[in-house]
Structure 1
Amino acid sequence: MDSAGALTGAVERFVGEHLDGARRVCVGLSGGPDSLALTAATLRAGLEVRALVVDHRLQHGSAHVADDAARAATALGARAEVLEVSVGTVGGMEAAARDARYTALDAARDGAPVLLGHTMDDQAETVLLGLARGSGGRSIAGMRAWSPPWGRPFLGIRRAQTVATCTELGLAPHADAHNRDPRFTRVRLRSEVLPLLDDVLRGGSVEALARTADALRADNDALDAIADEHYRRTVTDAGLDIGAVTGLAVALRTRVLRRWLVDLGATEPTSRVIGAVDALLTGRAGGQVAIGGDPSHRLVVESTGTTLVVAAVAR
Structure 2
Amino acid sequence: MSGAPSAWHAARRAVGEMLDPHGLNLVACSGGADSLALATAAAWHHHRATGPSAAAQVGGVVVDHDLHPDSVEVAGRTVSQLKKLGLEPVRIYSAHVDPESPLGPEAAARTGRYQAFRKAMVELGASRILLAHTKDDQVEQVLLGLARGSGTRSLAGIPSARGPFRRPLLNLSRSDTEAICEHYQLQWWNDPANADPRFLRSKIRTEILPYLERELSGSLRESLARTAKIAADDADYMESQAKDIFPVLLEDPDPNGALRLKLKALRAEPPAIRRRVIALAVAAAGGANPSFERLSAAEKLVTGSRSTGPVEMEGHIRIHRGARQTPDYGKLVIVPPSG
Normalised by the length of structure 2, the TM-score is 0.85
Mark the CA change 1:242 to 1:259 in structure 2 (over 3 Å): closer, same or farther. Answer: same
Does the 8 A contact of 1:12 with 1:45 survive in 2? Answer: no
Mark the CA change 1:52 to 1:127 in structure 2 (over 3 Å): closer, same or farther. Answer: same
Hey, what's the Cα distance between the residues in 2 that align with 1:68 and 1:193?
A: 32
Residues 69-78 or 91-100, more deviating? 69-78
What is the CA-CA distance between 1:13 and the residue it aligns to? Answer: 3.4
The match for 2:332 is 308
Does the 8 A contact of 2:21 with 2:57 survive in 1? Answer: no
Hey, what's the Cα distance between the residues in 2 that align with 1:203 and 1:8?
A: 26
Does the 8 A contact of 1:32 with 1:173 survive in 2? Answer: yes
Mark the CA change 1:231 to 1:3 in structure 2 (over 3 Å): closer, same or farther. Answer: farther
Question: Does structure 1 residue 58 correspond to structure 2 residue 67?
Answer: yes
The match for 1:199 is 214
Hey, what's the Cα distance between the residues in 1 that align with 2:152 and 2:219?
A: 22
Mark the CA change 1:64 to 1:11 in structure 2 (over 3 Å): closer, same or farther. Answer: same
What is the CA-CA distance between 1:136 and the residue it aligns to? Answer: 1.1
Q: Give 1:141-152 correspondences, 5 Å limit.
A: 141-152=156-167
Q: Deviations over 1:81-110 (max 9, x none)?
A: 111121121310101111111122123223
What is the CA-CA distance between 1:311 and the residue it aligns to? Answer: 3.0
What is the CA-CA distance between 1:8 and the residue it aligns to? Answer: 4.2
Question: Does structure 1 residue 81 correspond to structure 2 residue 97?
Answer: no
What is the CA-CA distance between 1:202 and the residue it aligns to? Answer: 3.5
Hey, what's the Cα distance between the residues in 1 that align with 2:207 and 2:79?
A: 32
What is the CA-CA distance between 1:22 and the residue it aligns to? Answer: 4.3
The match for 2:7 is 6
Q: Deviations over 1:171-192 (max 9, x none)?
A: 0011111111110111111111
The match for 2:302 is 281
What is the CA-CA distance between 1:243 and the residue it aligns to? Answer: 1.9
Q: Deviations over 1:108-161 (max 9, x none)?
A: 223411111100000000011111211111100111111221111111001101
Does the 8 A contact of 1:26 with 1:113 survive in 2? Answer: yes
Hey, what's the Cα distance between the residues in 2 that align with 1:278 and 1:306?
A: 14
Residues 183-192 or 231-240, more deviating? 231-240
Letter of the 1:283 counterpart: G
Letter of the 1:84 counterpart: S
Question: Does structure 1 residue 165 correspond to structure 2 residue 195?
Answer: no
What is the CA-CA distance between 1:266 and the residue it aligns to? Answer: 2.2
Secondary structure in structure 1 of the residue aligned to 2:127: coil
Secondary structure in structure 2 of the residue aligned to 1:198: helix
Number of equivalences: 309
Secondary structure in structure 2 of the residue aligned to 1:106: helix
Larger Rg: 2
Hey, what's the Cα distance between the residues in 2 that align with 1:278 and 1:35?
A: 43
Hey, what's the Cα distance between the residues in 1 that align with 2:4 and 2:119?
A: 32
Q: Give 1:1-315 correspondences, 5 Å limit.
A: 4-16=5-17, 18-19=18-19, 21-22=21-22, 24-46=24-46, 47-78=56-87, 79-88=89-98, 89-109=101-121, 110-238=125-253, 239-284=260-305, 285-293=307-315, 298-304=316-322, 305-312=329-336
Mark the CA change 1:313 to 1:114 in structure 2 (over 3 Å): closer, same or farther. Answer: closer
What is the CA-CA distance between 1:3 and the residue it aligns to? Answer: 5.9
Hey, what's the Cα distance between the residues in 1 that align with 2:317 and 2:271?
A: 24
Hey, what's the Cα distance between the residues in 1 that align with 2:286 and 2:337?
A: 15
What is the CA-CA distance between 1:5 and the residue it aligns to? Answer: 4.8
Secondary structure in structure 1 of the residue aligned to 2:318: strand
Mark the CA change 1:148 to 1:138 in structure 2 (over 3 Å): closer, same or farther. Answer: same
Does the 8 A contact of 1:4 with 1:41 survive in 2? Answer: no
Work out the percentage of aligned pairs sharing the same amino acid.
35
Hey, what's the Cα distance between the residues in 2 that align with 1:70 and 1:273?
A: 45
Does the 8 A contact of 2:11 with 2:38 survive in 1? Answer: no
Secondary structure in structure 2 of the residue aligned to 1:59: coil
Mark the CA change 1:9 to 1:300 in structure 2 (over 3 Å): closer, same or farther. Answer: same
Letter of the 1:253 counterpart: R
Q: Deviations over 1:50-75 (max 9, x none)?
A: 11111112222322222221122112
Hey, what's the Cα distance between the residues in 1 that align with 2:23 and 2:280?
A: 33
Secondary structure in structure 2 of the residue aligned to 1:175: coil
For structure 2, the residue ranges without an aligned partner over 5 or more in a row are 47-55, 254-259, 323-328
Secondary structure in structure 1 of the residue aligned to 2:313: strand
Hey, what's the Cα distance between the residues in 2 that align with 1:3 and 1:200?
A: 35
